[in-house]
A and B are shown apart, each in its own frame.
Chain A
Amino acid sequence: MNKTTNIMIVGVGGQGTLLASKTLGKLLLSEGYDVKVSEVHGMSQRGGSVVTYVRFGEKVYSPIIDKGEADYIVSFEKLEAARWLEYLRPDGRIITNLHETDPMPVITGAMEYPQQLIEKMEALGAEIDAIDALALAEEAGSSKAVNLVLMGRLSKYFDISEDAWMKAIEACVPPKFLELNKKAFALGKK
């Protein structure tokens, strides 16, 4: 039996998904778990669809998460949540930013941005927690803090102390942005 917990962090290259996975990795290791975090660097980061896999448990083998395995999908952009939906477990949960970033086929007019994605994903049985993470990040002081807003929201679903989260954030965020990021985390959690 696989007791590994699987979190996918998905978004658009440049949105700061790597900081989110770095923070989670530190946190889960400090909680005593075996952890694997897998990401792809390079070309796909240039505004493409990006995914990071975070897995933790007693012993983790594969560094990646496969279709039907994710307990949580944390999405920085709505369309990306829909793109990776197939990776969610039947009882899994999606935490998504409501922000829309048009991909190139939509920009060029070759395709439309699909409508009512949240409702359609819910109709397939996905538990969805959707927030306007960009607005909250801007409220915290920077549009770049979307990652910490989403981490704040994810923290609601884990039995891990606030103190441990703060330590992980402190270890991953440059000191001059620390207050801003802590504020973003708190706003996301609310």
Chain B
Amino acid sequence: MKELMLGNAAVARGLYEAGCEVVSSYPGTPSTEITEECAKFDEIYCEWAPNEKVAVEVAFGASLAGKRSFAAMKHVGLNVAADPLFTLSYTGVTGGCVIAVADDPAMHSSQNEQDSRHYARASKIPMLEPSDSAEALQFTKLAMELSEKYDTPVLLKMCTRVAHSQSVVETSERVVPEAKTYEKNIQKYVMLPGNAKKRHPVVEQRTLDLIEYAETADINRVEMGDTSLGIITSSTSYQYAKEVFGDKASILKLGMAWPMPVQKIKDFAAKVDRLVVIEELDPFIEEHCRAIGLEVEGKNIFPMIGEFSQNMVAEKLGQTAAEGKKLDDEIPLRPPVMCPGCPHRGLFYTLKKNSCNVMGDIGCYTLGAVAPLNSMDATLCMGASISGLHGFNKALGEAGEKKSVAVIGDSTFMHSGMTGLANIAYNQSNSTVIILDNSITGMTGHQQNPTTGYNIKGEPTGKIDLEALCKAMGIGRVTVVDPYNLKECNKVLKEELAADEPSVIISRRPCVLLKSVKPQPPLRINPSKCSGCKSCMRIGCPSISFKNGVCVVDHTTCVGCGVCQQLCGHKAFEETV
């Protein structure tokens, strides 16, 4: 059947059709929907793991047991999972094992722009790279086959424009391969040095075998057209090149990012007058071409930064690109902001009021860094708020400890905040850690996590008690506050910063976008009471604006959280019901 399908949904469909039975992932834009879509198939066991390392290890275990397994993550998630990845390359698999990694060129929703293809080369694991939804489905199934045929995990590289674009796919039935029985094999699966030494040559031979496969595989496709220009490309760059040139250029499309063929590329190069590589981010294909002795253009023309587009490809290769007209007015930017009623707002307002140094983390609350709250000093990676705060405080002593905090979400805390807290408890810095517990993984679009009490299907499951956990880890002072209550937040923050021992503040209120959270009626301003002092605007709520000398509440977006009310000295905010 023909369907319009999101690239990520097509990967899930491919997993279903390939008979995959175990999926474990940690959410991360732009990879999240793969796992959410998998969870809709009852035939696949599917879970949110606490982090990507756990997810890959779960997939490894399922593969060892003989089942086809899968894990998905965003590019930076693969950094977390790199440890199991590199040795999984040595052990190989029993059941097929595929790991999807989604890059985010242009950083629509990421903290860096790393190119995951380097992981394939570094870990010596083959990587397939689809360019639309149809290929996402087809390549996922092929990845499972290659995994079993070559006894290797296989990486499936997505990117934002493939993951989050819908295009037409043809679906087919699910076929579960004959079950493999688990057999103990110490030499293959226990990576003691003595065993690993015997596996490494196997890995090197496997890469040679895969290069041979790459020479003839039809996913490395030659589309001959005009031979004055030859383009080697992959992923969405292929789509831009086809859009611009159609058959006015010859194209070698690499569906396999690693390992790359040698002879196939040389043969293609010999047939064209000018050879150009079009690839986003790093010169990965280009360097391979150089290494095999070809003269090639690439990053001398195209940038290493951001996404490409058809106009860019046209301009860089001397074609006419479409143009539009622009207004002379400067259009105010519309950056993402915390939602109206976001529970993080009151807490960040309190941090700003107390001029705290704030070690931030990854989640919606990273938006606490933007105006007017500006309440964040550093954000590095998942979990770094807590470990970073410890280092900051060890370096500065009391000068740090009395005015610095870490802020981290509930899901991020489970992901990799706990180990940092263990370090604080063990090596004793008087650090104040604030867990922003909004009862969900927010930024990626509401995924359950070990603290919410629900699994990926929304069914009740084990629930980790954050207070008990922090206490068990050796933190004596654990306090829970409601971030809608500014007075309480301020009082507790001052107490915990003053304390001469490590402490944890749990700022607890569910995300206002959760279906279980019923919005309160919107507030309205009584214009006769509003003095126009703009005190309420210090919290940066998008529902409040300033018109004709008084504040105005947008009734379509206000959820009546009442934080602004607490800042108004003139009692100008009134309830509408």
Contacts and interface: CB of A to CB of B under 8 A. Distances in A.
B108 A67 contact: no
B546 interface: yes
A106 interface: yes
A63 B132 contact: yes
Interface in B264-281: none
A68 B164 contact: no
Interface residues of B, number: 64
A56 B243 CA distance: 13
A62 B240 contact: yes
Interface stretch (B177-185, B318-326, B483-491): B318-326
Contacts of A12: 334
B321 A101 contact: no
Nearest to A120: B327
A125 B324 CA distance: 11
B388 interface: no
A163 B6 CA distance: 25
B142 interface: no
A86 B326 contact: yes
Interface in B1-50: 2-4, 29-30, 32-33
Contacts of B132: 36, 63
Nearest to B245: A61
B108 A26 contact: no
B329 interface: yes
Contacts of A112: 332
B171 interface: no
A160 interface: no
Contacts of B554: 101
A101 B558 CA distance: 13
A43 B334 contact: no
B168 A29 contact: yes
Interface in A72-117: 79-80, 82-83, 85-90, 101-114, 117
B336 A46 contact: yes
Contacts of A87: 324
Contact of B109 (A14, A44, A108): A44
A66 interface: yes
B160 A124 contact: no
A36 B322 contact: no
Contacts of B331: 79, 82-83, 114
A45 B109 CA distance: 10
A119 B4 CA distance: 38
A39 B329 CA distance: 27
A35 B166 CA distance: 8
Contact of A106 (B166, B364, B545): B545
Interface in B295-333: 309-312, 321-333
Given A35-B168, A42-B29, A63 B161 contact: yes
A63 B325 contact: no
Interface stretch (B92-100, B143-151, B367-375): B367-375
A42 B327 contact: no
B336 A107 contact: no
Nearest to B340: A47
Given A36-B166, A43-B108, A68 B337 contact: no
Interface in A11-68: 12-14, 25-26, 29, 34-49, 60-64, 66-68
A35 B167 contact: yes
A182 B183 CA distance: 59
Nearest to A49: B334
Given A43-B109, A46-B367, A143-B556, A38 B165 contact: yes
A141 B490 CA distance: 42
B332 A47 contact: no
A127 to B, nearest CB: 13
Interface in B69-116: 108-109
B3 to A, nearest CB: 8
A36 B310 contact: no
A55 to B, nearest CB: 10
A38 B322 CA distance: 19
Contacts of A114: 327, 329-332
Interface in B511-542: 534, 537, 540, 542
A161 interface: no
B522 to A, nearest CB: 11
B239 interface: yes
A48 B165 contact: no
B459 to A, nearest CB: 21
A163 B2 CA distance: 20
B332 A111 contact: yes
Of B166, B236, B310, the most chain A CB neighbours within 10 A belong to B166
Given A42-B109, A105-B333, A66 B321 contact: yes
B242 interface: yes
Interface string B158-195: 00111011111000000000000000000000000000
B166 A44 contact: no
Contacts of B309: 62, 64, 66
B128 interface: no
A19 to B, nearest CB: 13
Contacts of B556: 134, 143
Interface in B529-577: 534, 537, 540, 542, 544-546, 554, 556-557
B458 interface: no
Interface in A109-140: 109-114, 117, 120-121, 124-126, 134
Given A62-B239, A63-B167, A89-B324, A44 B108 contact: yes
Given A62-B239, A102-B545, 15 more contacts: A12-B334, A29-B2, A35-B4, A36-B166, A39-B164, A48-B337, A61-B242, A62-B310, A66-B321, A88-B325, A107-B542, A107-B545, A109-B537, A125-B325, A134-B556
Interface of B: 2-4, 29-30, 32-33, 108-109, 132, 160-162, 164-168, 236, 239-240, 242-243, 309-312, 321-339, 364, 367, 370-372, 443-445, 534, 537, 540, 542, 544-546, 554, 556-557
30 contacts: A12-B334, A35-B167, A38-B161, A41-B109, A61-B242, A61-B310, A62-B236, A62-B310, A63-B132, A63-B165, A63-B236, A66-B310, A66-B312, A68-B323, A69-B322, A69-B324, A79-B334, A83-B331, A85-B325, A86-B326, A88-B324, A90-B325, A105-B333, A106-B332, A107-B540, A107-B545, A108-B372, A108-B540, A120-B328, A143-B556
